[in-house]
Amino acid sequence: MQKSTKLPRQHVASARYMKRIGGVLTAAALTLAVGSAQATEWDMPTPYGDSNFHTVNIRQFADDVREATDGELDITVHSSGSLIKHPEIKNSVRRGLVPIGELIMSRLANEDPLFEVDSVPYLASDYDQAWKLWQASKGVLSERLKAQRLKLLFAVPWPPQGIYTQFEVKTGEELKGVKMRAYNKSSERLAELLGALPTQVEVPDIPTAFGTGRVDAMITSPSTGANTRAWDYLTNFNHAQLWLPKNMVIVNAKAFDSLPEETQKALEDAAKVAEKRGWEASKAETDAKIKIMRDNGIEVSEPSPELVKRLKKVGDTMTEEWLERAGESGQALIDAYNKQ
């Protein structure tokens, strides 16, 4: 009884976004759906491929939610930007076109520098530091999203970022003039400061970008390197461990509020479990994917002292630039992180 009083609102909301994303429900079918269906169906766009550990984790999250709610909340994951392209995911969730989605946090750097704190070189470049940074930044990032009627459900890091090339990187000098694939503001700026020529390319487009010669090097993790078969077009990976960028899952607050309370709780519980599972998977991913790259002939090396020096210098410049952009709230975040 208690549930049935809440059902109509919930179904009208879900029917509304289905209609908006181009569903073919007629008014009569809508009425029928509102009157008889039991499940709320959510479409969830994600940017990365099916074999990626983030996508695997999110599919498990959707299964967990389905199970915990007895099928009342049924999330369908649309991977690889197949429903909505990565650059559009955040606004699509904000506008209620879809109720839930995944994206890389630092993609929001243009609207607010706080979202790229996890991509400042060497600020947090191992899992312990990344976890501390997440604890220190979670509150303020959630608040900023809340102001846009978005709820931050959970976040999971990528393995540490390194440099892929078609030659050995000894000092960093070699990167001058190289067309470097980037995926956020930081990777772009890093490339620039190294004298390389950055180009933004989404993960699903990486093989084509190399195939057509648009790029000839990239900054990313062992995970994305292996997922995109880096050995088909690259020979070297430098495990520079620059930063650990995070993906986040966000929900439209109105869609969330329209769920029955017990479903909201099930979603939040599953999110906690997914965050923990995701961090563990990410850690395991680093060594596993480095091994796959080695097995496929990629030469994996640690950065030389000269390269570290060079990258740290670039890192210092980028830290200064970030602090300037992020202002007082940026400094407060760093202070909170240092206290952890």
Residues that bind ligand PCA (CB under 6 A): 104, 158, 183, 203, 220-221, 223-224, 245
Q: How far is the CB of 105 from ligand PCA (least distance, A)?
A: 10
Compute the C-alpha angle 253/95/252, nearest 5°: 20
Q: How far is the CB of 59 from ligand PCA (least distance, A)?
A: 18
Residue 231 tokens read as 């050995």
Nearer to ligand PCA, 115 or 183 (CB): 183
Nearer to ligand PCA, 40 or 224 (CB): 224
Nearer to ligand PCA, 86 or 277 (CB): 86
- At residue 299, φ and ψ (nearest 5 deg) are -85, 115
Nearer to ligand PCA, 55 or 224 (CB): 224
Closest CA to 282 of 194, 156, 177: 156
Q: How far is the CB of 52 from ligand PCA (least distance, A)?
A: 8
Q: How far is the CB of 70 from ligand PCA (least distance, A)?
A: 35
Handedness of CA 238, 239, 242, 247 (dihedral sign): positive
Nearer to ligand PCA, 156 or 267 (CB): 156
Q: How far is the CB of 202 from ligand PCA (least distance, A)?
A: 7
Residue nearest to ligand PCA (CB): 221
Nearer to ligand PCA, 228 or 263 (CB): 228
DSSP state of 82: S
Exposed / middle / buried, residue 143 (Cβ in 10 Å: 0-12, 13-18, 19+): exposed
Report the SS3 class of residue 189: helix
Q: Contact at 8 Å (CB) between 303 and 315?
A: no
Q: Contact at 8 Å (CB) between 74 and 66?
A: yes
Q: How far is the CB of 203 from ligand PCA (least distance, A)?
A: 5
Contacts with 131 (C-beta within 8 Å, 6 or more apart), sequence order: 279
